Structure 1
Amino acid sequence: MTSFFFSPLIMKLPVLTLLSLSCFHFSHSFTPRYNSIFSFGNSLADTGNGLITSAQQSPGIGRLPYGMTFGRPTGRCSDGRLVIDFIAEAVGLPLLPPSLASDQDFRQGANFAVAGCTALDSAFWEQRGLAGIFGTNDSLGVQLQWFEQLKPSLCSTVRECKDYFGKSLFVLGEIGGNDYHLPLLANRTLEEVRTYVPYVIETISNTAEILINEGAVDLVLPGAPPSGCFGVLLTLLPSPNKQDYEPQTGCLKKLNALAMYHNELLRRAIGKLLSKYPGVRIIYADYYGPVIQFVQTPERFGFGNGALIACCGGGGPYNFNPQAWCAQPGATVCEEPSKSIYWDGIHLTEAAYRYIAPGWLSAWSHAKVH
C-alpha cells in the first residue's frame, strides 16, 4: 500500500543519538545479543501490514517502483530496506515479518507497525471532529492489542514471558507524525495541532511502560524527522513568506519546530521512565539530526538529485504531485534512488535509512542500564 490514502475530505499521508558522520558502517563493537525484535510505528517502520490491511485503498505500494532497490515490492514505503531492517541485520536476526501476515513464525520477532497510523486512538479524533480524515484506525493502542494477542504463541507463564521479552529488543516508533500532519492538511491550525503533542508523548510513554511491565528491558524510542522538509507538506502547505523557510535547507520552519517540540517532550518522557524503572535501558533514536544533515550537505553523503526532491513522483518543485503519487499513472522514478534522500515526498530512500541506522546502533552500544 502506498503509505498514502485518499478520502473525500483529505489526502491521508502516513508519515511519517545524532548520526556519526564517520559511521557509515555498523559498529563492530555492537554485539548481537537479542533473540527477537518487536517493532511498532507507522510507515517509517511498516514492513507490510499496511499493504495487508489497505491494499484496495492504496495499491501502489504493492508494485514497482516501490521495492526496486530490494528487488521486489514488499509493502515497505521505500525503494528498499528501512532502519528497522538494518537493525535486525546488525543483530543477526531476519527481517521482521508484518504481524498480520499468515503462515509466519514470530519467535524471532514481529513488526506491528502500520502505514498511515496514529499514536492516538479513534476516540481522541472523534472528540475533535477529525475521525474521518484517517485512512486507518490501527493506532498504537491497536498495535499493542495485536502484541497481546500474539503473546500466547511466544510464551506461556509470567516468568517465561518476562525471560523471553527480557532478551528481546523493542522499537517503539517512529510514530506521531500522522497525528500532526493530517489535521494540518484538514485545515486545523498549527496552534491547535501543537496541543496534541503532549497526548501523543503520553501515549508513547504509557505504551513503553506497558511493555516494560511485560518484561521488556531494552527499548528504542525514535523521535520525529524534520517534517518541514517533506516534499508533500512543502507542496500542500506552502507559505508566501520567504522568511517562513529555513535559509540553509529550504524547509518550513514551523513544521520543523513542531517536530523538535515532539522530540523534546519525548526525551523528557524517556528520562522519567529511566528514573522509574532502574535496570531498564531506553534510548532516544534520532531521526531529526541525520536528515537535517543530509539536507544541509547532501553531497557529503553522496546525494545528488536535489536535497528535497523525491526520487519517485509526479512532478512539481519537489517531484510531488497529489494527482500522481509514486507508482501511480503519471509518476516517474529516478534512475539511482541511492542519489536521493527522499523516495516519494515523505519517506526516505534505503540509502538514507542505511546512514541513519549506524547512529542508532552506536548510541545503543554506548547506552548504560539505569
Structure 2
Amino acid sequence: MAKSVSPFLSKLPMLITAFLLFTNAYGTLGCSYKSIISFGDSLADTGNSLHSGGGRIANLPYGETYFHKPTGRFSDGRLIIDFIAESLGLPLVPPYLGGGDFKQGVNFAVGGATALKASSFEEMGDINFGSTNSLDIQLGWFQKLMPSLCDSTSDCNEFFGKSLFLVGEIGGNDYNYPFFQGKSFEMIQALVPQVITTISSAITTLISHGAATLVVPGNLPIGCSVVYLQIFESQNKDDYDPQTGCLNWLNEFSQYHNSQLQKELDRLQTLYPDTTIVYADYYNASMLFYSSPDQYGFSGPTDKACCGRGFGSDQVCGSLGASVCSDPSSYVGWDGIHLTEAAYRWMAMGFLQGPYIVPRINVSCVPLSNKVSDYSLAQM
C-alpha cells in the first residue's frame, strides 16, 4: 500500500491546482446533472433514519461540525453525498421520509439498511437488524415517487437521464450484522454473491426506468474500522498490517466483495453500453489516510473514535455521558463505525478530482472555492 500512496501524494498539489484552473475557467460548462437520486445505508443517509425514529443520532454531538445540530447524518457533519451535491451546484439531497420537493434530488438511503431482504439471512439463525429498509424497500419508494417526478416514458428518460444515481454504499451491513453477532466467516463469505446479485438487479431496475449515470461505491476497509478492531482484537501481531494497524483478514474480505462488485459492474456496462456505470473506490480512497494519517491532518489515533467508547458499550456516541473529542477534524473515525466529516471530505476529493472513480465523469460543475478544494489547499 505504501508504494501506491507516495506517488499520488507527491502529485496531489499539482492535481488540485490544475483542477481549480479547469473549474474556474469553465464554470458551469458541461454541467449535465440536474438532480441526485441516492440509495444506500448510513454512509449516505441524510435524514431518513431521523424521520423514522431517530435514536441516538437525534442527539448532539451528531451534526455539530457543520450543521451545529443533528440532521440524521451518522457523522459530525457532511457526508460524501453532500460534497458531491455541492460540487454540482445542487442543494443538499433531502431524505425521502422528510417529504418536500424532490425535483433536484431525493435520498432513499437509511442507516442500517442491507442489500438483502431479512429473509435471506434465515439460514444463519437469529440476527438482530438495525433496519428493515433493505434495497428492495428503497426501490419501492423510488417507484412510488416516480409519478411526481415524470409522467411519461419519454419524460422519465429525460429526467432520469440528467440525474446522477448513487447506488450505495450498500452491502456493508449485510456483513456487519452477522460479523458483530458471531456468525462464521464461511457463512458470511457465502453471502457475497447474493449481495452482488441484489445490487446488480437494483441497477438493472434503475436503468429500465431511464437512469443513464450510476455511481456504485465499494465497501470500506472494515479491518481499519474502530468497531471491528475492538471486536476482533488479536494477540497475534501477524494479523495486523504493520503500517496501518488494520486487520488483514477483514480487509481481504472487503477487497473480495469489491472485486466481485467490479466484475459485475463491468458485465453490466457491456450489457448497457449507452449507460455509464461508475465504480467509486471507497476502499483505496480511505486507505490513504490510514496509511499516512499525518499527511491528511489526522493527529488523533486511527484506531480510536472521536465520539463515544464504541458500539457495545454503555457510552455509545449520542448517549448521555458519552465523551467526544475536542477536534473531530483530527480524527478519521467518528463513532466507531462511521467517519468524520474531515475523512469524508478527503474521500470526496478522490472522486471529484480522481483517481478513485472509474470511469471518470464530470461531477464538478461549479468552482469549488469554500468547498472541497479550498480545504485541501489549506491542509497541504
- Relative to the length of structure 1, the TM-score reads 0.88
Q: Deviations over 1:272-327 (max 9, x none)?
A: 0110001111111011112111011100000101122211113xxxx666221012
**Which sits farther off after the overlay, 115-124 or 321-330?**
321-330
Q: Deviations over 1:67-110 (max 9, x none)?
A: 011121110000000000000010111000001113x1101110
**What are the equivalent positions in structure 2 for 1:282-293 lying under 5 Å apart?**
282-293=277-288
For the residue of structure 1 that corresponds to 2:98, the secondary structure is coil
Q: 1:82 aligns with which of 53, 74, 79?
A: 79
Instruction: Determine the structure 1 residue equivalent to 2:185.
Output: 190
Instruction: Determine the structure 2 residue equivalent to 1:6.
Output: none
**Which sits farther off after the overlay, 135-144 or 355-364?**
355-364
Instruction: Determine the structure 2 residue equivalent to 1:355.
Output: 346
Q: Kindly indicate whether residue 360 of structure 2 is the aligned counterpart of residue 367 of structure 1.
A: yes
Q: Aligned-pair RMSD on alpha carbons?
A: 2.1
Q: Which amino acid aligns with 2:264?
A: A
Instruction: Determine the structure 2 residue equivalent to 1:223.
Output: 218
For the residue of structure 2 that corresponds to 1:100, the secondary structure is helix
Q: 1:258 aligns with which of 231, 253, 259?
A: 253
For the residue of structure 2 that corresponds to 1:282, the secondary structure is strand
Question: Which structure has more helix as a fraction of its residues?
Answer: 2
Cα distance in 2 for residues equivalent to 1:197 and 1:227: 15
- Provide the identity percentage: 48
User: Is this contact kept in 2: 1:295–1:308, CA < 8 A?
Assistant: no
User: Is this contact kept in 1: 2:172–2:219, CA < 8 A?
Assistant: yes
Q: Kindly indicate whether residue 172 of structure 2 is the aligned counterpart of residue 177 of structure 1.
A: yes
Would you say how many aligned residue pairs link Structure 1 and Structure 2?
343
Instruction: Determine the structure 1 residue equivalent to 2:294.
Output: 299
Shift of 1:126: 2.6
> Aligned in 2, Cα 1:185/1:35: closer, same or farther, shift over 3 Å?
same
**Unpaired segments of 5 or more residues in structure 2?**
24-29, 363-380
Instruction: Determine the structure 2 residue equivalent to 1:154.
Output: 149
User: Is this contact kept in 2: 1:26–1:90, CA < 8 A?
Assistant: no
**What are the equivalent positions in structure 2 for 1:239-278 lying under 5 Å apart?**
239-278=234-273
Cα distance in 2 for residues equivalent to 1:365 and 1:252: 27
Shift of 1:341: 0.7
Shift of 1:347: 0.7
Instruction: Determine the structure 2 residue equivalent to 1:233.
Output: 228
Q: Which amino acid aligns with 2:85?
A: A
Instruction: Determine the structure 1 residue equivalent to 2:61.
Output: 65
Instruction: Determine the structure 1 residue equivalent to 2:39.
Output: 40
**What are the equivalent positions in structure 2 for 1:307-322 lying under 5 Å apart?**
307-314=302-309, 322=313
User: Is this contact kept in 2: 1:302–1:339, CA < 8 A?
Assistant: yes
Q: Which amino acid aligns with 1:230?
A: S
> Aligned in 2, Cα 1:127/1:152: closer, same or farther, shift over 3 Å?
farther
Instruction: Determine the structure 1 residue equivalent to 2:370.
Output: none
Instruction: Determine the structure 2 residue equivalent to 1:101.
Output: 98
Shift of 1:167: 0.6
Q: Which amino acid aligns with 1:367?
A: R
Shift of 1:252: 1.1
User: Is this contact kept in 2: 1:310–1:320, CA < 8 A?
Assistant: no
- Relative to the length of structure 2, the TM-score reads 0.86
> Aligned in 2, Cα 1:323/1:188: closer, same or farther, shift over 3 Å?
same
Shift of 1:367: 2.9
> Aligned in 2, Cα 1:199/1:168: closer, same or farther, shift over 3 Å?
same
Cα distance in 2 for residues equivalent to 1:32 and 1:359: 19
Cα distance in 2 for residues equivalent to 1:183 and 1:170: 29
For the residue of structure 2 that corresponds to 1:54, the secondary structure is coil
Shift of 1:145: 0.5
User: Is this contact kept in 2: 1:44–1:347, CA < 8 A?
Assistant: yes
> Aligned in 2, Cα 1:222/1:64: closer, same or farther, shift over 3 Å?
same
**Unpaired segments of 5 or more residues in structure 1?**
1-17
Q: 1:163 aligns with which of 158, 166, 169?
A: 158
> Aligned in 2, Cα 1:26/1:304: closer, same or farther, shift over 3 Å?
farther
